[in-house]
A and B are shown apart, each in its own frame.
Chain A
Amino acid sequence: MVMAPETGSAVALAGVRRTFGDVLAVDDLTFEVPRGTVTVLLGPNGAGKTTVVRLVTGALHAHGGTVRTLGLDPEVDTEGTEIRRRCGVVPARPALYDRLSGTDNLEYAAALFQVHPGLVQSRVADAAQRFGISDALHLKVGGYSTGMRARLALARAVLHEPDLLLLDEPTAGLDPESARTVLGLIDEMAEDGKTVLMCTHLLLEAEGLADQVVVMDHGRAMVSGSPRELTRQYWPAARVILDADDPAVLDAARALPFVRAYERNGVALVDLERETDVPDLVDALVGAGARLTRVEPQAPSLEQLYFAIRRENAPS
């Protein structure tokens, strides 16, 4: 039995490289996933996110650099087995057995992930209830809707109470309502203290869930950090939306010394040096005769942040 050190990051990648023939899928990738947090890998299709999940569990071997998962080395046979026993993976395709019932699928996973036989029935029932599929467990999975398949895949991934959850596009192909439910369930798991590494190209998914964001492109991490850190780094110190009875009066803001950028297209969008400049801005505009109807400091959405990062890091 391998005893894993329980300190440090749940996942640590350092200079990791992986190729498929001539294609470089992951290139000098370095980032860490702290325990008990939700880390979101953001990036377009083909950025290397799925490869990262496979490298983390040891399903694929790295061609360079080091991978440590739960303090263990997936390249070592016994440690790789231990890592996979302690990870729950929801692949981009649900990877279910259509000819079997929901119960059979869950019991298969329980047996393979070495859940004690005495606990299997209760774990299956609990997971099914949690993910809202209790009534469909006796049915063959081939007849499940896409949403139910996603829920069953999630239930299967948590059945053995993994220390690390790896979710690869968990809402792919779901309708908005099912996607919202699935994201809510992931949020619940995160609140329970699970470490979650989630891949997505849908920025709205990551919004509100992510403790840390790693933006990937062409197999590399362009940037990583908490949304707050990234906002500080890539977003103007303060952005304010303004409106007035006579919007033209707002153009006076352009001349103010603490205004970094000004744009008016219906409402005015003003970038300031600091958040503390907002009262001075309001004073100045009122002084210029504006009757303000809207003053709204704006935090960037993850989507805005993502595109700001990509703009900043785009090759010149």
Chain B
Amino acid sequence: MTRTPKQGRPSWVIARTDLRQLLQARDFWLPLMIVALLFFVIIPTFLLLILGSVKDANLAKKLSDVVGSLPKDLQAKVHGQKGPASASYALAVYLFAPLAIIVPLTVSSAVGAHTIVGERERGSGEFLAHSPATERQIYLGKLMASLIPGYFTAAMGFLLYSLVVNLIVGPKLGGWFFPTTNWWVLMLWVLPPFIALALAVILAISARVSSAAAAQQASALATLPLIVIAYGVSSNTLFRGMGTAFAIGGLAWCGAIFALWRASKAVSRERLLGMGAT
């Protein structure tokens, strides 16, 4: 069967080709997928099953105390009166929230760190530098190719995590309850700008350094504070009201747009050719 090639905007052509290469690089994406599965499925399943099977009265009391450590307004929202069921709810809805940001951020960072410096290392940056694609189109292509795996991981992880939570905790709370409204806000409003913000930093680094290893190191260093912030933000999005969530998301969007605009200037033909790398 023959495939009819599609013509598209150069940025999409670049992104599509990068994604195709990523799919071919099983040694690269398989560990990342294992990490995602571990955090979105395996660990939550394990912990929620353990919590659900607690029979010991003392342990059940301690778990109730865990719920008691949540802010007062949240305690009122926690379903179930006492013991393992309420603790499972609290764990599912509030305590796993940072994973929603950290895992996709890690995936996007890993892809983004290689994207420009990788072209230079392979020598294929020369091909792009001599192509009719503009520097802006090349940057957009690289950005899309790094964002899509992160968002895809977030979406798939969210879906699987919702299934796990609803299947394990749902029956004890009278039916499927996840995602809650705050989780929707977290996933659709707060998470996307944080991934974009991190990628803006990483792409700017990837355009400047001379090797993929250096990009990986520098990116890890640069994204660490972002991960810490993301951790706090994701918890706050869920712990506090919708107003706070929208405000945090709005600020993150402003920061992301500014950072993406700044990073676009880092990608140039000269850098694709290996000039100006440090």
Q: Which of A98-106, A276-284, A298-306 contacts B (4 or more CB under 8 A)?
A: A98-106
Q: Which residues of A contact B129 (CB under 8 A)?
A: 54, 57, 59
Which applies to chain A's interface (DSSP): helix, strand, loop or mixed?
mixed
Assess whether A96 is in contact with B124, with CB atoms less than 8 Å apart. Answer: yes
Which listed residue, B4, B25, B270, touches A117 by the CB 8 Å rule? B4
Q: Which residues of A contact B270 (CB under 8 A)?
A: 59-61
- Bound complex: CA of A57 vs CA of B269, how far in Å? 11
Flag whether A120 is at the interface (Cβ < 8 A): yes
Q: Which of B8-16, B73-81, B91-99, B175-183 contacts A (4 or more CB under 8 A)?
A: B8-16
- Bound complex: CA of A289 vs CA of B95, how far in Å? 110
Residues 235-269 of chain A, each 1 if its beta carbon lies under 8 Å from chain B, else 0: 00000000000000000000000000000000000
Q: Which of B130-138, B228-236, B247-255 contacts A (4 or more CB under 8 A)?
A: B130-138
Assess whether A84 is in contact with B131, with CB atoms less than 8 Å apart. Answer: yes
Assess whether B126 is in contact with A117, with CB atoms less than 8 Å apart. Answer: no
Assess whether B273 is in contact with A54, with CB atoms less than 8 Å apart. Answer: yes
Assess whether A99 is in contact with B7, with CB atoms less than 8 Å apart. Answer: no
Chain B interfacial positions (CB closer than 8 Å to A): 2, 4-8, 10, 13-14, 17, 20-21, 24-25, 122-127, 129-134, 269-270, 272-273, 275
Residues 109-124 of chain A, each 1 if its beta carbon lies under 8 Å from chain B, else 0: 1111111110011000
Which listed residue, A61, A91, A120, touches B126 by the CB 8 Å rule? A91
Assess whether B131 is in contact with A113, with CB atoms less than 8 Å apart. Answer: yes
- Bound complex: CA of A284 vs CA of B275, how far in Å? 64
Q: List 8 A-B contacts (CB under 8 A).
A: A59-B272, A89-B130, A98-B122, A100-B21, A104-B17, A111-B7, A111-B13, A114-B7
Q: Which residues of A contact B122 (CB under 8 A)?
A: 95-98
Which listed residue, A60, A110, A166, touches B5 by the CB 8 Å rule? A110
Assess whether B132 is in contact with A85, with CB atoms less than 8 Å apart. Answer: yes
By size class, the interface of chain A is 35 or more
With contacts A20-B275, A99-B24, A112-B10 taken as known, whether A93 is within 8 angstroms of B130 at the C-beta atoms is no
Flag whether A81 is at the interface (Cβ < 8 A): yes
- Bound complex: CA of A93 vs CA of B127, how far in Å? 10
- Bound complex: CA of A87 vs CA of B273, how far in Å? 17
Segment 20-66 of A: residues with Cβ below 8 Å from B: 20, 54, 57-61
With contacts A100-B17, A112-B10, A117-B6 taken as known, whether A60 is within 8 angstroms of B127 at the C-beta atoms is no
Q: Which residues of B contact A99 (CB under 8 A)?
A: 21, 24-25
With contacts A81-B132, A108-B13, A114-B132 taken as known, whether A59 is within 8 angstroms of B123 at the C-beta atoms is no
Flag whether A94 is at the interface (Cβ < 8 A): yes
With contacts A112-B10, A112-B13, A120-B5 taken as known, whether A93 is within 8 angstroms of B123 at the C-beta atoms is yes
Residue of B nearest to A58 (CB): B269
Assess whether B20 is in contact with A100, with CB atoms less than 8 Å apart. Answer: yes
Among B127, B131, B272, find the residue whose CB has the most chain A CB atoms closer than 10 A: B127
Residue of A nearest to B276 (CB): A20
B28 to chain A, nearest CB (A): 10
Flag whether A205 is at the interface (Cβ < 8 A): no
Residue of B nearest to A140 (CB): B24
- Bound complex: CA of A57 vs CA of B127, how far in Å? 11
Assess whether B130 is in contact with A87, with CB atoms less than 8 Å apart. Answer: yes
Q: Which residues of B contact A121 (CB under 8 A)?
A: 2, 4-5
Q: Which residues of B contact A107 (CB under 8 A)?
A: 5
Q: Which residues of A contact B5 (CB under 8 A)?
A: 107, 110-111, 117, 120-121
Sort A-B residue pairs by CB-CB distance and give the 4 closest, nearest first: A93-B123, A85-B132, A95-B127, A59-B129
Q: Which residues of B contact A85 (CB under 8 A)?
A: 132
- Bound complex: CA of A181 vs CA of B4, how far in Å? 31
